[in-house]
Amino acid sequence: MKKKLAVFVACCLISGACFAQAQALDTASVREAIVRLSTTYPQATLQDVYKSFYQEHFGPSHLIPDTATAHYYLMHELAEYNQATVFYYEFTGSEGRFVRVYLSAIADSLITAEQLLDAFVRSSDPVGQPAIDWQTKWAFIVEVVTRSGIRFDNFEQDAKLLREASLKGQEMRHSRVYNAAYHPHYRIVRRDIFDNEIRPLIEKK
């Protein structure tokens, strides 16, 4: 009996902790971010929502094995870059802790490859940690999508796959349809570095 009671209490404490974390999230801002993403990118799927919020949560540290490799991939990507400029940056997730800086800013000579690479590498050292674990945050985001009636193709299939990914803290690529429609080319930069160093250069135009 005592063992069962102890297990029950432990479960209640875990549930209470998850509820407290969820309370820290702003439903309106999460919904607004999802609507903005789905409006800007009509071909986006739930997987692309996952990627945006994942980037906001974890930043780019998982993308930078070392500076030399990061430099190689950036220069390789720039050598093949031939897209028309749409915009130069956008904020990730709903809090904007990190920013996607598009290679169009380099192509249009607003910043240099070296400036973006330096900002990208330094952004792997985050300032402060999210107040909520990723698994709980992603479950909350899916709940917001469901309650808001926001439509994504293959929602149920993607939701199951992404739930498993969230339990492992696993990164996901952009969906195939998103890549085919929008050909995203960017690097993730921490918000304070972006505001202090990159944004002023981009917005001089």
| Domain segments of the chain as ranges | 2-202
Q: Which residue has the higher pLDDT, 85 or 192?
A: 192
Residue 17 has pLDDT above 80, yes or no: no
User: Average pLDDT in the 167-196 region?
Assistant: 96
Instruction: Write the secondary structure of 16-69 as one string of H (helix), E (strand) and C (coil).
Output: HHHHHHHHCCCHHHHHHHHHHHHHHCCCCCHHHHHHHHHHHHHCCHHHCCCHHH
166 pLDDT above the threshold of 60:
yes
Strand-pair category, 89-91 with 98-102:
antiparallel
Q: How many CB atoms lie within 10 A of CB 122?
A: 14
Q: What global pTM score does this model have?
A: 0.86
Answer whether 83's CB lies under 8 Å from 27's CB.
no
How far is the C-alpha of 122 from the C-alpha of 141, rounded, in Å? 28
Q: What is the mean pLDDT of residues 1-13?
A: 40
What's the chain's Rg over C-alpha atoms? 19
Confidence label for 171 from pLDDT (cuts 50, 70 and 90): very high
Number of neighbours of residue 75 by Cβ within 10 angstroms: 11
pLDDT digits (tens, 9 = 90+) for 90-148: 999 999 999 999 999 999 999 999 999 999 999 988 676 777 899 999 999 999 999 99
Q: Is residue 58 within 8 Å of residue 132, measured between CB atoms?
A: no
Q: Check whether 8 has a pLDDT greater than 70.
A: no
